[in-house]
Amino acid sequence: MSMNGIDISSWQTGIDLSKVPCDFVIIKATEGVTYVNPDCDRAFQQGADLGKKLGVYHFAGKNEAFAEAEYFVDHIRGYIKKAVLALDWEGNGVSRGPAWAKDWLDRVYQLTGVKPLLYMSNSTVHAYDWTSVVNGDYGLWNAGYYKGNTLMGYNPGAPLLGGTGAWKFAALYQYTSNGRLPGYSGDLDLNVFYGDRAAWNAYAGGSPAQAAPEPVYYTVKRGDTLSGIAARYGTTYQRLARINGISNPNLIYPGQKIRIS
C-alpha cells in the first residue's frame, strides 16, 4: 500500500488543492529564524478541509540548530499531531554535517513528542555517516530523480535511485521535481509515501509530548575555556561551538552566555 502526494512552498502560492489529485501534501512552513511561508496556513487549512494527509517542513538555514528548531515549532504549534514534521536538509545546511541535523531533530522531538523525517538528496544520503540519526529513529525522506528532468505524472513504483544508505528503508521518496498534474500548470515535486493513512497518522502522531526542558546556559568566567566548560557538562567543545555559533573555539570572553542544552 502506498500514497501519492506533493510537497509545496511559496513557489506554489495559491495552488488549489481541490483541483490537484493528491493523497497528501507537505508544505514548507519556515526557513532559518526569520522566514514563514505566507501561504502555509491557507494551504494547510484547505488540505485539512479536503481530508488530505498533511505535513509541514522547515528548510535549514545558517543559524544554530536549537534556534531553528524552536522557531519552527513556534510557528507550527497548531499543526502538531495533525501533520508529519520534516527537516529539509539541503543548501546551506548540508555543509554542517549530520550533527546539526541531529540537534535539530532532537530538539523538535523534545518540544513536540513527534519524530520528524529528514529530507535530503540521495547523494547526501551517501556523503555522510548518518548512524546517529538512524539510531535516533528519525525516518528518511529521500530525493532522487531517476529520470532527470523528464516531465511525468505519479509513479509510485519509481525505482529508488541510489538506495537508502544507513536507513533500512525510506518513508517517503521524492522522485521528480518536474511533475505535472491536472489542476496546476507548473512543475510539482511528486512523492510516494510507502504506507497507508494509518501509517501516516503514526508518523504525525508521535508519542505524548513531555514538558520540554528549559535551555541550560553557562556564563563564562575569567580563565574558562570552551573545552573545560564542555568537560564539566559531559559534552564536547565542538558541540558547544556548533550550537552557539562560535567560529573560533579558542575565543570566549567573561560574561558570555554559552548554551549547554
User: What angle separates helix 237-244 from helix 65-75, to the nearest 10 degrees?
Assistant: 50
Cα–Cα distance for residue pair 69/217, rounded to 1 Å: 17
CB 2 within 8 A of CB 194: yes
State how far the alpha carbon of 177 is from the alpha carbons of 6, 23, 147, 255, in Å.
Answer: 10, 17, 10, 49
Q: Say what the pLDDT of residue 147 is.
A: 95
* Residue-level pLDDT at 164: 96
pLDDT at 185: 96
Question: How far is residue 202 CA from its own chain's centroid?
Answer: 17
Cα–Cα dist 161/125, whole Å: 11
Does residue 207 carry a pLDDT above 90? no
Residues 15, 184: Cα–Cα separation, whole Å: 7
Mean pLDDT of all residues belonging to the chain: 94
- Answer yes or no: is pLDDT of 208 > 80: no
With DSSP H G I counted as helix, E B as strand and the rest as coil, what are the percentages for the chain, rounded to 5?
30, 20, 45
Does the pLDDT value for residue 69 go beyond 90?
yes
Per-residue pLDDT at 209: 46
Residue type, 43: A
Share of the chain above pLDDT 90, in %: 79
228 sits in which H/E element = helix 226-232
- Residue 212: the pLDDT is 55
What are 167's three cell numbers? 536507513
**pLDDT tier, 57 (very low <50, low <70, confident <90, very high otherwise):** very high
Q: Minimal CA–CA distance to 68: which of 42, 93, 23, 104?
A: 104
Least confident window among 153-157, 185-189, 211-215, 257-261: 211-215
Strands 217-219 and 257-259: antiparallel
Question: Considering just the CA atoms, what is the radius of gyration of the chain in Å?
Answer: 19
pLDDT of residue 213: 65
Report yes or no: 54 and 82 within 8 Å, Cβ to Cβ.
yes
Q: Using alpha carbons, select from 193, 181, 188 the residue that is nearest to residue 55.
A: 193
Residue showing cell 512552498:
9
Separation CA 16–CA 18 (nearest Å): 5
- Asked if residue 2 has pLDDT above 60, the reply is yes
Look at residues 184, 156, 134, 133 and name the one whose alpha carbon lies nearest to residue 19.
184
